[in-house]
Amino acid sequence: MLLINFKTYEEAEGEKAVEIAKIAAAISKESSKRVAVVPNFVDLKEVSEIIETFAPHVDPLEPGSHTGHTIPAIVDFLKGVVLNHSEYPMLIKDIEAAVQMAKEEGLETVICANNVAVARAVATFEPTYVAVEPPGLIGGDVSVSTAKPDIIKEAVKVVKPKSKLLVGAGVKTKKDVEKAVELGADGVFVASGVVKAKDVRLTIKELVDGLGR
């Protein structure tokens, strides 16, 4: 899977979010490869009508008096949720609870991990995916598959077969994806490499091509 995080970039909000979603959906259909996106909360509903969509976070709470929180039951129309991103870290106990509640709503779960030790811990909750992203490489020009291939190798050992493995941080080219898949990853988690690309369509296509046949 290619999972594209829109974060709160100006290049991926409102009409621009919709446009990226349409491009990604078309490439997914053409290639028969899975592509999904993680928009900001305001754009979730509209984007989810175009392509598989994940919420950028949920709180492990039941419906009730929780002003300002987003709970799994509210986003049950989506494909899944992302948890514990390095920009929105969670306590382990809250991650476990959120995974269970998301599963009860029929949602897939992607848990981010900044190292192999965290990946090992969260894999025990059996999420759909664990996404390993070394923080020092996020948003940079050197990919995790080039700079720290051993992290991917070790993550494969602790995550699979309980969950599938995504890797991210600095992933921007077809070669970056090919190397990650070669090392055992099931896909990549990207953000600025796509959202800020001069040619979004070409970039998504190249990354999808890197997933192989």
Sheet holding 108-113, edge to edge: 35-38, 2-5, 187-190, 164-168, 129-132, 108-113, 80-83, 54-55
Is residue 85 among the annotated active site residues?
yes
Which helix (H) or strand (E) is 3 found in, with range? strand 2-5
Tell me whether strands 2-5 and 108-113 are parallel, antiparallel or unpaired.
Answer: unpaired
Q: Which of the residues 96, 133, 154, 206 is marked catalytic?
A: 133
Nearest to 163 by CA among 138, 189, 185: 185
The number of beta carbons lying within 10 Å of the beta carbon of residue 16 is 16
Is residue 133 among the annotated active site residues?
yes
Contact 212, 34 (CB under 8 A): no
Task: List beta partners, residue 165.
Answer: 130
Q: Which of the residues 85, 108, 154, 206 is marked catalytic?
A: 85
Residues annotated as part of the active site: 85, 133
